[in-house]
Amino acid sequence: MRIVLLGAPGSGKGTQSQRLVQRFGIPQISTGDLLRSAVKRGTPLGIAAKDAMQSGKLVDDSIVLGMIRERLSQSDTATGFILDGFPRNLAQANALDAMLGEVGQPLTAVVLMEVDNVELTRRIAGRRSCPNCGTVYNIYSMTLGSDLRCTNCAERPALVQRPDDNEETVIHRLRVYDEQTRPLVAYYRGKGLLRTIDAQADVDAVTTALVSALSQPAEGTARRKRVSGKAPPKRKAPPKRKVAAKRKVATKRKVPTKRKVATKRQSAAKRKVAAKRKTAPARKTVARRKVGARRKLATSRGKRSASRSRRPARKSTRRR
Protein backbone atom coordinates (compact mmCIF):
# COMPACT_ATOMS: atom_id res chain seq x y z
CA MET A 1 0.00 0.00 0.00
CA ARG A 2 1.43 3.33 -1.06
CA ILE A 3 -1.20 5.86 -0.10
CA VAL A 4 -1.60 9.64 -0.14
CA LEU A 5 -4.12 11.24 2.23
CA LEU A 6 -5.30 14.49 0.68
CA GLY A 7 -7.33 17.07 2.58
CA ALA A 8 -7.49 20.58 4.00
CA PRO A 9 -5.83 21.51 7.31
CA GLY A 10 -7.82 19.89 10.10
CA SER A 11 -9.55 17.31 7.89
CA GLY A 12 -8.11 14.52 10.02
CA LYS A 13 -5.19 13.30 7.88
CA GLY A 14 -2.91 12.88 10.93
CA THR A 15 -5.58 11.21 13.05
CA GLN A 16 -6.54 8.71 10.34
CA SER A 17 -2.92 8.04 9.32
CA GLN A 18 -2.20 6.82 12.84
CA ARG A 19 -5.13 4.43 12.65
CA LEU A 20 -3.94 3.06 9.28
CA VAL A 21 -0.46 2.53 10.77
CA GLN A 22 -2.00 0.29 13.44
CA ARG A 23 -4.21 -1.51 10.95
CA PHE A 24 -1.77 -2.15 8.09
CA GLY A 25 1.62 -1.94 9.84
CA ILE A 26 3.05 0.58 7.37
CA PRO A 27 4.70 3.90 8.40
CA GLN A 28 3.11 7.34 8.33
CA ILE A 29 5.20 10.02 6.65
CA SER A 30 3.98 13.48 7.67
CA THR A 31 5.92 16.39 6.20
CA GLY A 32 4.33 18.63 8.85
CA ASP A 33 5.69 16.41 11.67
CA LEU A 34 9.15 16.17 10.03
CA LEU A 35 9.29 19.96 9.65
CA ARG A 36 8.08 20.61 13.23
CA SER A 37 10.74 18.22 14.53
CA ALA A 38 13.44 20.05 12.51
CA VAL A 39 12.25 23.40 13.85
CA LYS A 40 12.29 22.06 17.42
CA ARG A 41 15.83 20.71 17.03
CA GLY A 42 16.95 23.96 15.39
CA THR A 43 18.51 22.24 12.36
CA PRO A 44 19.41 24.40 9.30
CA LEU A 45 16.39 22.92 7.54
CA GLY A 46 14.16 23.77 10.50
CA ILE A 47 15.46 27.32 10.64
CA ALA A 48 14.75 27.73 6.91
CA ALA A 49 11.21 26.34 7.28
CA LYS A 50 10.13 28.11 10.49
CA ASP A 51 8.89 31.44 9.11
CA ALA A 52 6.84 29.88 6.30
CA MET A 53 5.19 27.46 8.73
CA GLN A 54 4.27 30.11 11.26
CA SER A 55 2.62 32.28 8.63
CA GLY A 56 0.75 29.37 7.05
CA LYS A 57 2.65 29.40 3.74
CA LEU A 58 4.09 26.33 2.07
CA VAL A 59 7.72 25.58 2.85
CA ASP A 60 10.03 25.69 -0.16
CA ASP A 61 9.68 22.63 -2.47
CA SER A 62 13.41 21.92 -2.45
CA ILE A 63 13.43 21.53 1.37
CA VAL A 64 10.37 19.27 1.44
CA LEU A 65 11.46 17.13 -1.50
CA GLY A 66 14.90 16.57 0.03
CA MET A 67 13.24 15.44 3.26
CA ILE A 68 10.85 13.07 1.45
CA ARG A 69 13.58 11.52 -0.70
CA GLU A 70 15.62 10.79 2.40
CA ARG A 71 12.62 9.34 4.30
CA LEU A 72 11.46 7.13 1.42
CA SER A 73 14.95 5.61 1.15
CA GLN A 74 14.58 4.07 4.63
CA SER A 75 13.92 0.33 4.80
CA ASP A 76 10.58 0.50 6.68
CA THR A 77 8.90 1.95 3.57
CA ALA A 78 9.59 -1.19 1.51
CA THR A 79 6.17 -2.69 2.27
CA GLY A 80 4.30 0.59 1.83
CA PHE A 81 3.64 3.99 3.45
CA ILE A 82 1.02 6.64 4.14
CA LEU A 83 1.87 10.14 2.97
CA ASP A 84 0.16 12.75 5.18
CA GLY A 85 0.37 16.37 4.00
CA PHE A 86 2.53 15.57 0.98
CA PRO A 87 2.36 16.33 -1.93
CA ARG A 88 0.84 19.81 -1.57
CA ASN A 89 1.19 21.23 -5.07
CA LEU A 90 1.61 19.98 -8.64
CA ALA A 91 5.40 20.36 -8.61
CA GLN A 92 5.63 18.09 -5.54
CA ALA A 93 3.20 15.59 -7.11
CA ASN A 94 5.29 15.37 -10.29
CA ALA A 95 8.51 15.00 -8.28
CA LEU A 96 6.93 12.22 -6.19
CA ASP A 97 5.84 10.35 -9.34
CA ALA A 98 9.38 10.57 -10.68
CA MET A 99 10.90 9.40 -7.37
CA LEU A 100 8.58 6.40 -7.08
CA GLY A 101 8.95 5.67 -10.78
CA GLU A 102 12.73 5.32 -10.33
CA VAL A 103 12.23 2.48 -7.83
CA GLY A 104 9.26 0.98 -9.70
CA GLN A 105 6.86 1.52 -6.79
CA PRO A 106 4.08 3.90 -7.90
CA LEU A 107 1.25 5.09 -5.66
CA THR A 108 -1.64 2.66 -5.22
CA ALA A 109 -4.32 5.07 -3.91
CA VAL A 110 -5.06 8.71 -3.11
CA VAL A 111 -7.91 9.46 -0.70
CA LEU A 112 -9.49 12.90 -0.57
CA MET A 113 -10.99 13.66 2.86
CA GLU A 114 -13.76 16.22 2.53
CA VAL A 115 -14.84 18.44 5.45
CA ASP A 116 -16.53 21.87 5.32
CA ASN A 117 -14.69 25.01 6.41
CA VAL A 118 -16.78 25.61 9.55
CA GLU A 119 -15.90 22.16 10.92
CA LEU A 120 -12.25 22.51 9.83
CA THR A 121 -11.90 25.77 11.78
CA ARG A 122 -13.59 24.26 14.84
CA ARG A 123 -11.30 21.22 14.81
CA ILE A 124 -8.14 23.31 14.43
CA ALA A 125 -9.20 25.71 17.21
CA GLY A 126 -9.79 22.78 19.54
CA ARG A 127 -6.62 20.82 18.70
CA ARG A 128 -4.10 20.21 21.49
CA SER A 129 -1.14 17.83 21.46
CA CYS A 130 1.29 16.27 23.88
CA PRO A 131 4.76 17.85 23.64
CA ASN A 132 6.24 14.53 24.78
CA CYS A 133 4.58 11.74 22.76
CA GLY A 134 2.86 13.87 20.09
CA THR A 135 -0.61 12.41 20.70
CA VAL A 136 -3.25 14.71 19.20
CA TYR A 137 -6.38 15.60 21.21
CA ASN A 138 -9.33 17.87 20.69
CA ILE A 139 -10.99 19.81 23.49
CA TYR A 140 -14.39 19.53 21.77
CA SER A 141 -14.50 15.79 21.26
CA MET A 142 -12.67 14.39 24.27
CA THR A 143 -13.20 14.46 28.01
CA LEU A 144 -9.79 15.74 29.07
CA GLY A 145 -10.65 17.39 32.37
CA SER A 146 -9.98 21.03 33.13
CA ASP A 147 -6.17 20.73 33.32
CA LEU A 148 -5.71 19.41 29.72
CA ARG A 149 -2.92 16.89 30.28
CA CYS A 150 -1.71 13.93 28.23
CA THR A 151 -3.36 10.70 29.30
CA ASN A 152 -0.74 8.56 27.52
CA CYS A 153 2.44 9.68 29.34
CA ALA A 154 3.16 8.69 32.94
CA GLU A 155 4.35 12.21 33.84
CA ARG A 156 1.14 13.66 32.32
CA PRO A 157 2.61 16.73 30.59
CA ALA A 158 0.32 19.70 29.90
CA LEU A 159 -1.06 19.73 26.35
CA VAL A 160 0.06 22.47 23.98
CA GLN A 161 -1.47 24.29 21.04
CA ARG A 162 0.44 24.46 17.72
CA PRO A 163 1.77 27.95 17.00
CA ASP A 164 0.13 27.88 13.52
CA ASP A 165 -3.29 26.98 14.94
CA ASN A 166 -4.33 30.60 15.49
CA GLU A 167 -7.26 32.13 13.63
CA GLU A 168 -5.26 34.37 11.26
CA THR A 169 -2.88 31.59 10.14
CA VAL A 170 -5.71 29.10 9.74
CA ILE A 171 -7.51 31.41 7.28
CA HIS A 172 -4.28 31.67 5.29
CA ARG A 173 -3.68 27.89 5.37
CA LEU A 174 -7.18 27.23 4.04
CA ARG A 175 -6.59 29.69 1.19
CA VAL A 176 -3.25 28.07 0.34
CA TYR A 177 -4.99 24.69 0.29
CA ASP A 178 -7.64 25.92 -2.19
CA GLU A 179 -5.12 27.56 -4.48
CA GLN A 180 -2.23 25.11 -4.48
CA THR A 181 -3.33 21.74 -3.14
CA ARG A 182 -6.88 21.36 -4.48
CA PRO A 183 -5.67 21.07 -8.11
CA LEU A 184 -4.20 17.71 -7.08
CA VAL A 185 -7.74 16.30 -6.93
CA ALA A 186 -8.06 16.55 -10.72
CA TYR A 187 -4.44 15.44 -11.15
CA TYR A 188 -4.96 12.17 -9.25
CA ARG A 189 -8.44 11.61 -10.67
CA GLY A 190 -6.84 11.79 -14.10
CA LYS A 191 -4.35 9.14 -13.05
CA GLY A 192 -7.14 6.81 -11.90
CA LEU A 193 -6.01 6.87 -8.25
CA LEU A 194 -8.57 9.07 -6.50
CA ARG A 195 -11.16 8.03 -3.92
CA THR A 196 -13.24 10.63 -2.06
CA ILE A 197 -14.68 10.16 1.42
CA ASP A 198 -16.93 12.29 3.62
CA ALA A 199 -14.61 13.03 6.55
CA GLN A 200 -17.14 15.20 8.38
CA ALA A 201 -18.39 12.35 10.58
CA ASP A 202 -16.86 11.16 13.86
CA VAL A 203 -13.39 9.61 13.91
CA ASP A 204 -14.54 5.94 13.89
CA ALA A 205 -17.01 6.48 11.02
CA VAL A 206 -14.29 8.19 8.97
CA THR A 207 -11.91 5.26 9.58
CA THR A 208 -14.57 2.83 8.31
CA ALA A 209 -15.15 4.96 5.20
CA LEU A 210 -11.42 5.26 4.60
CA VAL A 211 -10.69 1.54 4.87
CA SER A 212 -13.64 0.76 2.61
CA ALA A 213 -12.52 3.37 0.04
CA LEU A 214 -9.09 1.74 -0.12
CA SER A 215 -10.66 -1.54 -1.21
CA GLN A 216 -12.85 0.11 -3.86
CA PRO A 217 -11.82 0.92 -7.44
CA ALA A 218 -10.75 4.52 -8.00
CA GLU A 219 -13.18 7.16 -9.30
CA GLY A 220 -13.71 7.07 -13.06
CA THR A 221 -12.14 3.61 -13.42
CA ALA A 222 -15.34 1.96 -14.72
CA ARG A 223 -15.74 4.62 -17.42
CA ARG A 224 -12.12 4.25 -18.43
CA LYS A 225 -12.72 0.51 -19.08
CA ARG A 226 -15.66 1.24 -21.35
CA VAL A 227 -13.67 3.80 -23.31
CA SER A 228 -10.90 1.24 -23.75
CA GLY A 229 -13.24 -0.98 -25.77
CA LYS A 230 -15.02 -3.30 -23.38
CA ALA A 231 -18.76 -3.41 -23.97
CA PRO A 232 -20.88 -1.75 -21.26
CA PRO A 233 -22.97 -4.16 -19.16
CA LYS A 234 -26.32 -5.06 -20.75
CA ARG A 235 -29.42 -3.43 -19.32
CA LYS A 236 -31.78 -5.80 -17.59
CA ALA A 237 -35.09 -6.14 -19.48
CA PRO A 238 -38.11 -5.10 -17.35
CA PRO A 239 -40.53 -7.92 -16.38
CA LYS A 240 -43.24 -8.63 -19.04
CA ARG A 241 -46.15 -7.66 -16.79
CA LYS A 242 -44.73 -4.20 -16.31
CA VAL A 243 -44.31 -3.77 -20.06
CA ALA A 244 -47.96 -4.74 -20.70
CA ALA A 245 -49.19 -2.35 -18.01
CA LYS A 246 -47.10 0.46 -19.45
CA ARG A 247 -48.54 -0.19 -22.94
CA LYS A 248 -52.11 -0.02 -21.55
CA VAL A 249 -51.46 3.33 -19.90
CA ALA A 250 -49.85 4.59 -23.10
CA THR A 251 -52.87 3.54 -25.22
CA LYS A 252 -55.23 5.35 -22.85
CA ARG A 253 -53.13 8.43 -22.95
CA LYS A 254 -52.77 8.37 -26.76
CA VAL A 255 -53.41 11.74 -28.33
CA PRO A 256 -55.04 11.75 -31.81
CA THR A 257 -52.44 12.00 -34.52
CA LYS A 258 -52.45 14.80 -37.14
CA ARG A 259 -53.61 12.32 -39.80
CA LYS A 260 -56.56 11.24 -37.73
CA VAL A 261 -57.58 14.82 -37.07
CA ALA A 262 -57.41 15.56 -40.84
CA THR A 263 -59.51 12.50 -41.70
CA LYS A 264 -62.12 13.52 -39.17
CA ARG A 265 -62.29 17.03 -40.67
CA GLN A 266 -62.67 15.59 -44.20
CA SER A 267 -65.49 13.30 -43.28
CA ALA A 268 -67.26 16.18 -41.56
CA ALA A 269 -66.97 18.21 -44.79
CA LYS A 270 -68.33 15.29 -46.82
CA ARG A 271 -71.26 15.00 -44.48
CA LYS A 272 -72.04 18.66 -45.01
CA VAL A 273 -72.00 18.28 -48.79
CA ALA A 274 -74.26 15.25 -48.59
CA ALA A 275 -76.71 17.17 -46.43
CA LYS A 276 -76.81 20.01 -48.99
CA ARG A 277 -77.49 17.55 -51.80
CA LYS A 278 -80.42 16.09 -49.94
CA THR A 279 -82.16 19.47 -49.78
CA ALA A 280 -81.03 20.93 -53.16
CA PRO A 281 -81.91 19.21 -56.46
CA ALA A 282 -79.12 17.39 -58.18
CA ARG A 283 -77.17 19.18 -60.91
CA LYS A 284 -78.47 16.86 -63.65
CA THR A 285 -82.03 17.49 -62.62
CA VAL A 286 -81.47 21.22 -62.76
CA ALA A 287 -79.92 20.92 -66.22
CA ARG A 288 -82.79 18.75 -67.50
CA ARG A 289 -85.27 21.22 -66.17
CA LYS A 290 -83.48 24.03 -67.98
CA VAL A 291 -83.46 22.09 -71.29
CA GLY A 292 -87.19 21.37 -70.92
CA ALA A 293 -87.94 25.03 -70.29
CA ARG A 294 -85.96 26.10 -73.35
CA ARG A 295 -87.82 23.57 -75.55
CA LYS A 296 -91.15 24.79 -74.28
CA LEU A 297 -90.19 28.33 -75.09
CA ALA A 298 -89.05 27.37 -78.61
CA THR A 299 -92.25 25.44 -79.24
CA SER A 300 -94.46 28.30 -78.15
CA ARG A 301 -92.50 30.73 -80.39
CA GLY A 302 -92.88 28.33 -83.34
CA LYS A 303 -96.65 28.13 -82.84
CA ARG A 304 -96.92 31.89 -82.71
CA SER A 305 -95.07 32.42 -86.06
CA ALA A 306 -97.16 29.74 -87.75
CA SER A 307 -100.40 31.41 -86.71
CA ARG A 308 -99.05 34.74 -88.01
CA SER A 309 -98.44 33.29 -91.49
CA ARG A 310 -101.94 31.84 -91.60
CA ARG A 311 -103.60 35.22 -90.81
CA PRO A 312 -104.89 37.29 -93.88
CA ALA A 313 -102.78 40.35 -94.76
CA ARG A 314 -104.01 43.53 -93.29
CA LYS A 315 -105.41 46.09 -95.57
CA SER A 316 -103.16 48.97 -96.10
CA THR A 317 -104.57 52.06 -94.65
CA ARG A 318 -101.98 54.21 -96.28
CA ARG A 319 -103.30 56.49 -99.07
CA ARG A 320 -101.80 56.04 -102.42
Our CB check for ligand AP5 shows the closer of 9 and 46 to be 9
Catalytic amino acids?
13, 88, 127, 162, 173
Q: What's the farthest any 2 CA atoms get from each other in the chain? A: 178
Contacting residue, 81, 88, 187, 195, with ligand AP5 by CB under 6 A = 88
Residues 207-266 that bind ligand AP5 (CB under 6 A): none
Contacting residue, 52, 100, 160, 211, with ligand AP5 by CB under 6 A = 52
Our CB check for ligand AP5 shows the closer of 112 and 206 to be 206
Local structure of residue 149 (DSSP, 8 states)? B
Contacting residue, 2, 6, 14, 26, with ligand AP5 by CB under 6 A = 14
Instruction: Please give the Cα distance from 30 to 33 (Å, whole number).
Output: 5
Instruction: Please give the Cα distance from 123 to 117 (Å, whole number).
Output: 10
Chain length of the chain: 320
User: By the 8 A CB rule, do 63 and 45 touch?
Assistant: yes
Chain-centroid distance, C-alpha 20: 29
Report the residue number whose CB is nearest to ligand AP5: 32
Asked if 95 is part of the footprint of ligand AP5 (rule: CB under 6 A), the reply reads no
Residues 108-147 that bind ligand AP5 (CB under 6 A): 123-124, 126-127, 136, 138, 141
* Distance separating the N- and C-terminal Cα atoms of the chain: 155
User: By the 8 A CB rule, do 51 and 106 touch?
Assistant: no
Contacting residue, 173, 184, 197, 213, with ligand AP5 by CB under 6 A = 173
Cα dihedral across residues 66, 70, 76, 78: positive or negative:
positive
Q: Which residues of the chain form contacts with ligand AP5 (CB under 6 A)?
A: 7, 9-15, 31-32, 35, 52-53, 56-59, 64, 85-86, 88, 92, 123-124, 126-127, 136, 138, 141, 164, 173, 202-203, 206
